[in-house]
A = this chain, B = another copy of it.
Amino acid sequence: MFSLQRNLNQLRKLSNQSRSKSYIVNLDNINQNVKRIEYAVRGPLVIRAGEIEKELKAGTSNKSFSEVIRANIGDCHATGQKPLTYFRQVIACCTDTSLLDSPKYPNDVKEKVKLLLSYCGGNSVGAYSDSAGIEIARQHCAEYIAERDGIPSNWQDIVLTTGASEGVRAVLALINSSSTDDKPSGVLIPIPQYPLYTATIAEYAMHPIKYYLDEENEWQLNIKELKRALDNDRSLCKPKAIVIINPGNPTGSVLSKENIKEIIKFAKEEGLMIIADEVYQHNIYKEGAAFHSFKKVMHEMGLEIELASLMSSSKGYMGECGLRGGYCEFINLQPEVKALFLKMLSARLCCSILGQIAMDCVVSPPKPGDQSYDLFASEKNAILESLKAKAKLAAETFNSIPNMKSNPVAGAMYAFPQIILPEKAIKEARDKNMEPDFFYAKNLLEKTGICIVPGSGFGQIPGTYHFRTTILPQLGELRKMMDRLKVFHLQFLEDYK
C-alpha cells in the first residue's frame, strides 16, 4: 500500500538523520504493532492540505484556487455547521452555574442543568463520575433506546464513552485474547471500513477478517461473502466478533431489515458477538430507508447474542465531535464478563463529564411544550434537511460524470463513488509507487484544493478505485466543490486518455 511504503521511506530518512545518536526507545524495540497502524482519514493528503492552507494564508501559494475544501473527515462544525443552541446552553450553564440566574437561558435548560448537576459529585462537572458515567445520563440513554426500539433497555447495560471510538476500543480490548491464545483474536470487519477498526486491530495485534460490502447491491452485506471471508481466515485466528457499520461509513449505505436479520443469523451460527457501529442512526436520507437497530431486530428474532451498540454525539444533526461524547450499550453479556468490563473501565477513571452531558442532550432533548423545543426542532430539522439535499446532490453529480458511479447516499455523511481510472493514469501512479486512487486524490488536491480520502484508505476490491467525500460542506460550497471536481475529473480523463 502506498501510504505504508511512504511511511517506511519517511522513517528511513529520519533514521539516517538520527543514526548518529543512540536512543533507548527506538524503532526496533517499541511496540511493533504501532508500525502497522494506518489512518488514512488523517493521512499524508490531510497533512499536505494543511501545508497548502498555510501557503494560501501566507500568500506564498501559486495555486489557482483560494481555499482548501476539507471533505476528508466527518467534522461537521469545521465545515460551517452551527452547533445547536440547546446543547451549548446546557453545557455552558453546567460549567458556569451563575448562568442559572441569567434571564437569557430558557427554563427547561435550567431544569436539565439542575438535574444533571444533582448527579455530579459536589454538584460540579469538575468531579469524576462513576467509570461507566453519570447515572442519570445512563438512564436517559436507556429511555432513548427503549423509545427508539419499543423494547426495554437497562441503564446498567450502558457505559458512556469518549466518542464512539473509545467504546469500540474498550470492547475490542475486552474480547482480545491474542496475548494468551496460540492465535490472534479475529474480528470480521467490512471493506471498505472506517479505519478506526483496522488501526485498533493492528495496535492490539488482533486479526482483521475482511469481508467485502456488496457495491452492486447498495453496499449491503452478502452472507456468502461473510462465509467466504470467515472460512478463508479461520485457520489464521480465533474469530470473536463481527463489526457492522450501519448507516455505513464510508459507504453512505443503510442496511435493510432483511439484511440485518441475515447477519444476526450468521453471527448466531458462527458464534460471533456483534459490534454494531450505529453512530449515524439519525442520518437517514433515502426515501423508504429507515434505521433498524441490531438490538431491535435481534429481539424480533427472539435471539440473545452478545451485542455492543455504539453511539456518539459527534454525528447526527448535532455534530459535536470535539466534545467527545458517546455511549455503548452492551447486552446479553455474561454477568461476570460484564463485571470485568466495568473493572477494566474503572482504571480509566471516567470520560469527560461535559462529553457525557452532550450525549445526554442527544438522548434527552427538549420535548414539545418545553421552552427550548421550537428552536431546537427548527435547528435540527434544518440541518437534517440540508444533509438530505446534499446527499442527493453528491450522488447525482457523481452519476452525471463519465467514469464515475455512486450508490445513493442513503445515510451517514459520506459518498463513496467508484472511479474508473484510465490505464495511463494507473501506470503513472504505479511508476510513482502510489495507489492509483491516491494519485487521483493527490492531483485533485493540488489542482482544486479539494481534500478527499482515496478508497485505498478504507479498503476496496483490488482493481477497483474509489474515494470518500463527506457531504458536509455547506450547500453553496458543496455545489462549488462538485463543479470543480467535475472539471478536474474531465481534464484528468483527457490528460490520461
Give A contacts to B, CB under 8 Å.
7, 10-11, 14-15, 17-18, 21, 23-27, 29-35, 37, 39, 42, 73, 75-81, 83, 88-89, 91-93, 95-99, 104, 120-122, 124-129, 131, 162-163, 165-166, 169, 173-180, 195-196, 199-200, 203, 205, 238, 240, 271-273, 305-306, 318-324, 332-337, 339-341, 343-344, 346-355
Contacts and interface: CB of A to CB of B under 8 A. Distances in A.
A35 to B, nearest CB: 6
Contacts of A37: 340, 343-344, 347
Given A42-B131, A173-B203, A348 B75 contact: no
A33 B333 CA distance: 18
A309 to B, nearest CB: 15
B344 A34 contact: yes
A336 B14 contact: yes
A271 B353 CA distance: 40
A323 B195 CA distance: 28
Given A11-B336, A75-B128, A77-B121, A323 B305 contact: no
Contacts of A195: 347
B352 A324 contact: yes
Contact of A128 (B26, B88, B321): B321
B30 A346 contact: no
Contact of A353 (B27, B97, B179, B322): B322
A137 to B, nearest CB: 12
13 contacts: A14-B339, A15-B336, A25-B174, A25-B306, A25-B333, A29-B177, A34-B341, A76-B126, A121-B322, A321-B349, A352-B352, A352-B354, A354-B354
Contacts of A122: 77-81
A216 B126 CA distance: 36
B11 A339 contact: yes
Given A174-B30, A175-B25, A348-B166, A322 B128 contact: yes
Contacts of A23: 306, 332-334, 337
A350 B322 contact: yes
A7 to B, nearest CB: 8
Contact of A177 (B32, B177, B179, B352): B32
